[in-house]
């Protein structure tokens, strides 16, 4: 999730860079320089769009993984559940999974000391 958020922010930065380059292109008096800046702006926009598409792909993969996790949990807890009930429980299980996935959890292996 953090990687996705970082990539979203990076895509926004690239979009802003493209906007700045377009404004600079409009302000430049020399036509050759303006064309060069416009080409750079187009390249920046393409890069931003590419990042956005990649982020959307990651979001879809994450959503599929959440659904698969919910299905795995249901299969472990109630393997003989009818399909209609399985779907109903799946829909109810996704929001808590979102909460767990988006939480900043840190699992630390505990150590035990023997009485000595």
Q: What is the pLDDT of residues 27-72, one digit of tens each?
A: 766 677 778 888 999 999 999 999 999 999 999 999 999 999 999 9
In angstroms, the CA 36 to CA 61 distance is 38
In angstroms, rounded to a whole number, what is the distance separating the alpha carbons of residues 43 and 111? Answer: 53
* Cα 35–chain centre separation: 34
Tens digits of residue pLDDT in 86-100? 999 999 999 998 888
- 92: enclosing H helix or E strand: helix 83-102
How many other C-beta atoms are found inside a 10 Å radius of the C-beta of residue 53?
11
3-state secondary structure of 39: helix
Distance CA 29, CA 38 (A): 13
| Residue 112 pLDDT greater than 60, yes or no | no
């Amino acid at each position: 999730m953090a990687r996705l958020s970082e990539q979203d922010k990076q895509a926004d930065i690239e979009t802003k860079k493209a906007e700045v380059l377009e404004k600079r292109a409009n302000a430049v008096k020399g036509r050759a320089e303006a064309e060069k800046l416009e080409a750079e702006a187009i390249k920046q926009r393409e890069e931003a769009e590419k990042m956005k598409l990649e982020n959307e792909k990651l979001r879809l993969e994450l959503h599929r993984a959440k659904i698969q996790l919910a299905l795995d949990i249901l299969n472990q807890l109630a393997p003989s559940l009818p399909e209609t009930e399985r779907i109903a429980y799946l829909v109810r299980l996704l929001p808590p999974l979102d909460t767990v996935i988006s939480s900043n959890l840190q699992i630390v292996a505990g150590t035990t000391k023997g009485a000595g």
